[in-house]
Amino acid sequence: MKFFVDTAEIDAIAELNDLGMVDGVTTNPSLILKSGRDILEVTKEICDLVDGPVSAEVVALEADAMIAEGRKLAEIAENITVKLPLTWDGLKACKVLSEEGKMVNVTLCFSANQALLAAKAGATFISPFIGRLDDINLDGMELIEDIRTVYDNYGFDTQILAASIRSVNHVLDAARIGADVMTAPPEVIKKLASHPLTDAGLKQFMADWAKTGQNIL
């Protein structure tokens, strides 16, 4: 499973990237706002830091304007993935941009039918939002399962990018189902290393080591 980090914070990306934990980056208008940076400037900095795909989202709502914005964003770097909303206009833009050879991430997906349309429009990635479905008492992981089944049935190349990941359990469940990629905030990725039994075991080892009176260095 590929790990994308869902942030526009350069320091957080750099820390994870140094550990080899970043296969790509996803951003959105809310994350750009949080960063307090100019979208073109911060996106270029991320692209220079990370080798993998970096999703930059359009803000237009009509297809022609989405295409224009997508082309502008794609000029930032070769690893830009144009991020489009899963609307009819977004699908039109996806078709055009993907045929131009640009990577496209179709976002805000909440049904397998939507995912099917995105794949047929040539999307590189489809981003189903797990957490937001859970928020309204629907099973976000069931959506990942449905998309995986549909894509496997018909041999679509579109990669499933599990998004709106809120917990380490989301990561594990998505990996079990076979999502190609997951994107999560830096703090969720870091929590994957945590387990109470690891902490308890380390505490016991340190206590026993202290009793030996020894030093390694």
Mean pLDDT along residues 56-79 = 98
**111-164, pLDDT tens digit by residue?**
999 999 999 999 999 999 999 999 999 999 999 999 999 999 999 999 999 999
Region 208-213 average pLDDT: 97
CATH code, domain with 117 = 3.20.20.70
**Domain for residue 8, yes or no?**
yes
Pairwise CA distance, residues 180 & 188, whole Å:
18
- Residue 51 in any domain: the answer is yes
Range of the domain at 147: 2-212
Burial class (CB in 10 A: 0-12, 13-18, 19+), 91: buried
34 flagged as catalytic: no
Distances (CA, A) of 216 to 139, 207, 209: 50, 15, 11
- pTM, rounded to two decimals: 0.95
Q: Which structure tokens are listed for 46?
A: 């991320």
Which uninterrupted H or E stretch holds 33?
Answer: helix 29-35
pLDDT reported for residue 91: 98
Q: Mind listing the pLDDT tens digit for each residue in 158-202?
A: 999 999 999 999 999 999 999 999 999 999 999 999 999 999 999
User: Is residue 217 a part of any domain in this protein?
Assistant: no
The residue from 2, 34, 44, 83 that is catalytic is 83
Share of the chain above pLDDT 90, in %: 100
